Structure 1
Amino acid sequence: MTETMIRKKTGMVSVRDMPLLQDGPPPGGFPPGRYARRISNTGPSAMAMFLAMSGAFA
């Protein structure tokens, strides 16, 4: 569609002439996000890694 058909004007004069339209949250707000802090305890400990690197570079 052209500007003439939408706003019944020959051309848009300024952006300020356009109606203000802003997005907002839905009524009642957004649902809470699902997240959990899950830090796994798998893998070697810091001491095991230190000993392995010490042995590798010795």
Structure 2
Amino acid sequence: MTEAVIRNKPGMASVKEMPILQDGPPPGGFPPVRFARRIPNKGPSAVAIFLTAFGAFTWGMYQVGKGNKVRRALTEEKYSALHYLIALHCLSC
């Protein structure tokens, strides 16, 4: 359907002759718009997250330190055995 038929003005020569039709608010107005932020207080607090992360980091560094001590002891044992074997080899020459 054309605009002229919708507005009951058949035979118009120009668009400028069309009557102005503007939408308005519904009777009684529009309902109020909810714009307030309603964020639920769920989950751990920032302090709890920070303390948990700090604890995990501290425990991980402790485990790395223990692993370094074991690795250092194994390396020292390997070199010690190598030095003794070299000394025995030189004595038999």
Q: Which residue in the other structure is 1:8 paired with?
A: 10
- Number of paired residues? 55
Question: Which consecutive residues of structure 1, in runs of 5 or more, have no partner in the other structure?
Answer: none
The reply to whether residue 17 of structure 1 matches residue 17 of structure 2 is yes
| Bigger proportion of residues as helix | 2
Matched, 1:49 2:68: no
Give 3-state SS (helix, strand or coil) of 1:26's partner.
coil
Partners of 2:34 and 2:43 in 1: CA distance: 27
| Root mean square deviation of aligned Cα | 3.3
Residue ranges of structure 2 left out of the alignment (5+ in a row)? 59-93
Which protein, 1 or 2, shows the higher relative CO under an 8 Å CA cutoff with sep ≥ 6? 1
Matching of residue 40 in structure 1 with residue 40 in structure 2: yes
Give TM-score, length-normalised by structure 1.
Answer: 0.51
Paired with 1:49 and 1:8, the residues of 2 have a C-alpha distance of 72
Structure whose CA Rg is larger: 2
Distance 1:37 1:2 in 2: 45
Task: Give the % identical residues.
Answer: 60
